[in-house]
Amino acid sequence: MKLSLTILDMKIIIYRSCLEYKGGIHMENNATSGNLLKHIAFFAIPYLLSYFLQTLYGMADLFIVGQFNAVDGITAVSNGSQVMHMLTAILVGLAMGVTVSISHAVGAKKHKLVEKTIGNTITLFACISIISTLLLLIFVKPLVVLLNVPQEAMTGTVQYLVICFIGIPFITAYNIISSIYRGLGDSKSPMYIIAIACLLNIILDYIFIGLFHMGPIGAALGTTVSQSVSVIIALISMKYRTSDIHIKKEDLHLQSQVFKHILKVGFPVAIQDGCIQVAFIIITIIANSRGLNDAAAVGIVEKMVTAIFIIPSTMLATVSALSAQNIGAKDYGRARTVLKYAVIITTLYGIIVALIVECAAPTLLGLFTKDTTVILLGVQYISSYIIDTIFAGVHFSFSGYFAADGKSYIGFIHNIIAISLVRVPGSYIASIMYPHNLFPMGLAAPLGSLLSVIICLIAYRILKKKDELSVL
């Protein structure tokens, strides 16, 4: 009860700070006119750096633990951070509804609707964060048991997750503030904020893990403290910057039309991202059942792939924000051009990265562990998995476009089909048929993404025809 009250009090402080906000965000990137490639670069580059730095939270934890702890510590942090990444992905998915809703209002020049959307966002996500924190803290041990974590890493995983779960209100607050900024065309501010927090996380990790030998507990403490700092900085930034955006008390009252629009876009994306992460979790469970070395190898590779997928994820957010502005302005052709550029960028990126990783896999794995067995297994897994980078970027871009057009359910559908028909069953069958080789397990990812791409192309052609007919 004491812990729950502490969390509630903390969230009330954040809530009141938002209530006192009298402006602070500029509409810096209106993509309804001008050079689209410049708009994409203006939005995507800061978002890319921001996303990279946020991903670095988990990467830094795993890297530094690997320098000072044995395989059990690596496995504990990799399993724990996988769960946290799933939760963060769901929050980011929900926040996509905020970004798109605000972008639509900006494109349509509906200033009051922007303020109402921001206010409703504060209230809605304050409730979500408190409820999810309490539930996860209650069920943390059954969750770790469900993950089938090797016995040697069980205690460390529980300790890591308990501390990280306490920090969920801060994770929620940062991502929601960031989504508001991005909906208004400002992707620079979140980048600056997360850069400071990420640097602090790395420093704290070395202090807690390297100096005080706290292992997974130290990794979790570093992450939670730095996330708290990022929220404090964000709130200060919002409060003291001048703008024509003014959040009034009545804007905080939930209005069905406003929050339904947020959830209409955000909920399918959250479910989609959640399902993807659940697939990762299931694959982690499969790897855990193969033993400590396989679990560590898969955990390291999943973290590496998360970092590698930064460009595709950036394009998803960029397409959703910029296309949404143009759809709000009824310029569907310009919205589709944003998508075209994103597909070209992600495809080229995927090919280049796949070639680099295929050549440098042993060296990359060696950054996280010195265990030769884990490195060998990791190279097997990533050598096939990395092909997914080529296909994932394409369906990520399409998912961003579908979200911008208010049809995020399409992204949900293609991901569910790919996961249930290819990704999970493929990984399981490969694990049974090839118990001493992770290469076949890794192939399930690109095959699943290929199916997603096919579904996206079919859905896009249907939507394009409908848009063209509506104009006539």
Cα gap 333→125, rounded to integer Å: 34
In a domain? residue 15: yes
Running along the chain, 472 residues long, what does each successive block of 10 average in pLDDT?
38 40 46 77 76 72 80 82 83 82 79 85 90 94 87 90 93 86 77 85 91 89 89 79 70 83 78 76 83 85 83 84 82 89 94 94 88 90 93 92 85 88 92 90 93 94 74 49
HSE-CB at 328 with a 13 A cutoff on CA atoms is 27
State residue 74's pLDDT score: 78
Question: pTM to 2 decimals?
Answer: 0.69
469 lies in a domain?
Answer: no
User: Which tokens go with 104?
Assistant: 């639509």
Residue 335: CB atoms within 10 A of its CB come to: 26
Q: Is 29 part of a structural domain of the chain?
A: no
The tally of CA atoms less than 13 A away on the side-chain side of residue 202 is 12
Which residue from 159, 166, 157 is spatially nearest to 135, judged by alpha carbons? 166
pLDDT of residue 6: 40
Identify the pLDDT of residue 444. 92
Task: Report pLDDT for 27.
Answer: 47
472 in any annotated domain: no
| Cβ atoms of residues 262 and 98 within 8 Å | yes
In a domain, 415, yes or no: yes
**What single-letter amino acid sits at 278?**
V
Place of tokens 């990137």: 29
The span from the CA of 34 to the CA of 81, in Å, is 41
3-state secondary structure of 351: helix
* Rounded-to-integer distance, Cα 230 and Cα 24, Å: 16
Question: Which sign, positive or negative, has the C-alpha torsion 35, 37, 40, 42?
Answer: negative
Tell me what pLDDT residue 468 has: 62
pLDDT in the model for residue 470: 57
Residue 27 lies in a domain: no
The domain in which residue 184 lies consists of 2-21+34-464
Report d(CA 309, CA 298) in Å as an integer.
16
Count up the domains in the chain and report the number. 1
* Residue 237 located in a structural domain: yes
Residue 318 lies in a domain: yes
